Amino acid sequence: MSRKFFVGGNWKMNGSKAVIKEIVDFLNEGPLDPEVEVVCGAPSIYLEYSKSILPSNIALAAQNCYKTKSGAFTGEISPAMIKDVGVNWVILGHSERRNVFGEKDELIGEKVGHALDEGLSVIACIGELLEEREAGKTTDVVFAQMSAISKHVKDWSRVVIAYEPVWAIGTGKTASPAQAQEVHAQLRQWLKEKISDSVSASTRIIYGGSVTAGNCKELAKEADIDGFLVGGASLKKDFVQIVNAKK
């Protein structure tokens, strides 16, 4: 089954209106491969502004949300709020949410489920720490994370899985194409065994972790790498080359 290549740009806690305008300018200049689905993740305070100036061929994502529609949760935003400002995607379970802010697998699963129930599409992030990889626990960790997410998913067509080995995020280290492909293939086999053949064949599994203009083409050649979730490089013109990695 053909899976549309997907590139997400996670701006993290970066930017200003002026910086976002610069990003939009280089995205407009492109040219971007029309066969690639592109989604940019903006800070929540800039979602409406970003929505107003991003070109129509690029979707927008919130970088996080909570698991309920409303309530006494100071500082949080809900899927309903995200939808209300015209945004249709959310990034959940990013390693920084897990390892800086202490979000557990089960909470992330609940958030994924609620976001999907509210009509959002989800980029669901998973990945292991360096000590977990060195201890040979990569599959144990990512399968546990997948299990917590899958319990809450009714519609896999609106889920993109982002495998991001934590040791490769913002460190300059990148999993080799073979290392990344190995985990992606194991994740696809997990989906086949635990969910269904069709979900395994159709679900996009993207790679994140120091993806650059220099390494994206080699990574994109791997059979089970369906795109990228890009951090720092999404703030730079190099992001255009990453979007065009399959060309």
Residues paired with residue 42 on neighbouring β-strands, in sequence order: 62
b (16+ CB within 10 A) / e for 90-120: bbbbbbbbbeeeebebebbbbbbbbbbebeb
User: Is 114 marked active-site?
Assistant: no
**Spatial distance between the Cα atoms of 152 and 114, rounded to a whole number of angstroms:** 8
User: Is 164 marked active-site?
Assistant: yes
Structural contact between residues 124 and 161, judged by C-beta atoms closer than 8 angstroms = yes
Catalytic residue among 96, 110, 132, 164: 164
**What's the angle, vertex CA 120, arms to CA 118 and CA 125, rounded to 5?**
120
Catalytic residue among 94, 114, 152, 184: 94
Structural contact between residues 79 and 120, judged by C-beta atoms closer than 8 angstroms = yes
Known catalytic residues are 94, 164
